[in-house]
Structure 1
Amino acid sequence: MYSDLPADQLAAYRGSTSAPEDLDRFWAETLDEARTYPLAVEVTPYPSGLRTVELYDVVFPGFGGEPIRAWLRLPARNLREDSDGPLPGVVQFVGYGGGRGDAHENLFWASAGFAHLQMDTRGQGAGWSKGATPDGAGSAGPQVPGMMTRGVLDPQTYYYRRLFTDAVRAVEAMRSLPQVSSVQVDPMRIAVLGQSQGAALALAVSALCPDVAAVVAFVPFLSDFPRAVSVTDSYPYREIRDYLAVQRGQVETVMETLAYFDTVNLVPRATAPALFSVALMDTTTPPSTVYAAYNTYAGPKELTVWPFNGHEAGAIEDDVAALAFLQKQLAG
């Protein structure tokens, strides 16, 4: 059922959050600190038994220089249209609770001819897809189960400061691959992609790495926190509500922290062409919060609306649309 704003109001809705005055400085200092750690990317061939896709186990330094794992999947050399030319790249981020999964999963993008880097998600990867990267930075203060309130009393300690930084470093790792591997990836033709939490990471990267070539964000999470926690009863946003139901005196502090990680506050800095999707019966990422991110996104953009779907949105139809979009945007 529909439980959000009417369609005419959704189309114009731009969110209820305000960006902190020091937002740009906060992220510049965070990324400058991360970049003090050398970008030493380890790429190890992974025995797969596959003929059409090559697999590699990747480790790169994320927030605090901590090792972040990823899978690199490439079309087999003999199947590339131009075996001597650089490949366009897709960096993919994972939904809430999942990790990078098994190496043999998610062969779609490499099969389509892209270099595909799928980043593991620190501290997650036990909810529905395997992960292998701990959240080594720790946290501060009490929290309810899950990641949404880990370190939420201070932007410096909040979980998503570390994860957004990992995502930026994943793009930088993808760009450095020609320096550490015989695999050639075109550093000017790299897109970021994800659904839900993964879409939020893609949107954050689009703002923090303004030279990415394209963005795909399906039903993005972490958008318009003030509205999300008040209009949905679903997890993961419910984690924040559960926390504040006990920590009653921390509402202002928590909302001040979340503003630094709200994609609605970040995407006015984005310039890359973007493809969004929204599902009007989605209670996990309420449609109004997705529209808030879409309407404030500053670059060229397209939106697919699924009137009768929930958080699955367009499923395979979204993937097929993303393929056509990225083939166009990343054409050599």
Structure 2
Amino acid sequence: MPLIDMPLEQLYQYQGRNPLPTDFDEYWEQGLHEMKLTNAQVELVPSSFQVPHAECFHLYYTGVRGARIHAKYVRPKHVQRPHPAIISFHGYTGRSSDWSELLSYASLGIAVFAMDCRGQGGLSEDVGNVKGTTHNGHIIRGLDSKPEDLLFRHIFLDAVQLAGLAMNRTEIDPNRIGVIGGSQGGGLALACAALEPRIRRVSSYYPFLSDYQRVWEMDLAKDAYQELRSYFRQFDPQHTRKEAIFTRLGYIDIQHLAPRIEAEVLMAVGLMDTICPPSTQFAAYNKIKAPKSLELYPDFGHEHLPCFQDKTMQFLLKM
């Protein structure tokens, strides 16, 4: 089998390269405290897209720092209440799935919440300096400010807040909540489960936002991680601040959140992935202490992984 990373036996032992900030746990406890103090001001607006077996809504809420966050909410009709729910997260710079893609779970009596990440391709705001979209550059957004100004901190907290809002709805069973996603969505699914211990199941495929220093050392700071390369070229061309920069990024590195996960995890990795290198994904997987299983795709990269969505559905039906 060709290799773009470590041999498989080494991948299963790999523990990551990116530094862990010394106040990491305190950082996230403070973030969760800020989130809990935020008045969500939930608004539910019926969508123009409707189908016979489910109700479709736009759900808006206020996240940390005042951004209005948007999620699609598909609620099955004619099913026993309370019923289970899944929360879906999309890839970097993208947006939530089309309504029609969310209906397969609704047909099984499972509600779906699909979040738009703030400032990316959907309807959620980025309120840094102006309201609206910033689309990308989000890994390095806030890197030269205080650690609590990192934009992905806010996005992680948006995900956790949506999970809590879902659990508080009377039609939802708070003990049967799952999170799913690929790439950025896979990273957010793991982060959400790490910061919201009531989540029961996680399906994550080729997760993004893990082990930034390893990506850079592999010379793969391009495509989804291009902004790391651009940041060093523009703002630290001689790498005099390299250790401080990667330590700051450690606050939003999902491998450091992974030990907190209590949910059962199903994860998929393509061993030819040059967008999110396999070692960076294993750095997170190897730190998960909860029940977990891994689906390997030796000849696949950052692309559709055959049958994994079917395996995800079967996995989530057991909540």
Q: TM-score, normalised by structure 2?
A: 0.91
Matched, 1:152 2:139: no
Question: Are the equivalent residues in 2 in contact too, given 1:34–1:65 (CA < 8 A)?
Answer: no
Q: How does 1:43-62 map to 2 (within 5 A)?
A: 43-62=44-63
1:218 to 1:211, Cα distance in 2 relative to 1, 3 A: same
Q: How far, CA to CA, are the matches of 2:38 and 2:147 in structure 1?
A: 21
Partner of 1:192: 179
Query: What residue in structure 1 maps to residue 255 of structure 2?
Result: 264
What residue is the counterpart of 2:19 in the other structure? 18
Q: Which residue of 2 aligns with 1:96?
A: 92
Question: What is the deviation of 1:168?
Answer: 0.8
Question: Would you say the 8 A contact 1:88–1:189 is kept in 2?
Answer: yes
Alignment of 1:1-332 (within 5 A): 2-75=3-76, 77-78=77-78, 80=79, 82=80, 85-125=81-121, 131-138=122-129, 146-153=137-144, 154-178=146-170, 184-231=171-218, 232-248=220-236, 249-315=240-306, 317-328=307-318, 330=319
Partner SS, residue 175 of structure 2: strand
Q: Quote the Cα distance in structure 2 between the aligned partners of 1:144 and 1:186.
A: 34
> How far apart are 1:48 and its partner, in Å?
2.3
Distance 1:145 1:325 in 2: 32
Cα distance in 2 for partners of 1:101, 1:225 equals 27
Task: Quote the offset at 1:144 in angstroms.
Answer: 12
Q: Structure 2 regions of 5+ residues with no counterpart?
A: none
Q: 1:320 to 1:144 in 2, by over 3 A?
A: closer
Give the structure-1-normalised TM-score. Answer: 0.88
Partners of 2:249 and 2:27 in 1: how far apart?
Answer: 13
**CA deviation profile, 1:131-177 (whole Å, cap 9, x unmatched):** 111211349xxx99632211112422211011111111110111122
Counterpart contact for 2:221–2:227, Cα < 8 Å = no
In structure 2, distance between residues paired with 1:88 and 1:15? 34
The count of residues paired between Structure 1 and Structure 2 equals 310
Tell me the alpha carbon deviations over residues 66-93 of structure 1, each in whole angstroms, 9 at most, x when there is no partner.
Answer: 2111000122x23x3x3xx211010111
Q: 1:172 to 1:224 in 2, by over 3 A?
A: same
* CA apart distance, 1:102: 4.2
- For residues 203 and 259 of structure 1, do their structure 2 counterparts lie closer, same or farther at Cα, with a shift above 3 Å needed? same
SS at match of 1:259: helix
| Cα contact 1:215–1:272 (8 A) shared by 2 | yes
Contact 1:224 1:289 in 2 (8 A): yes
| CA-atom RMSD in angstroms | 2.0
Structure 2 contact 18–246 (Cα < 8 Å) conserved: no
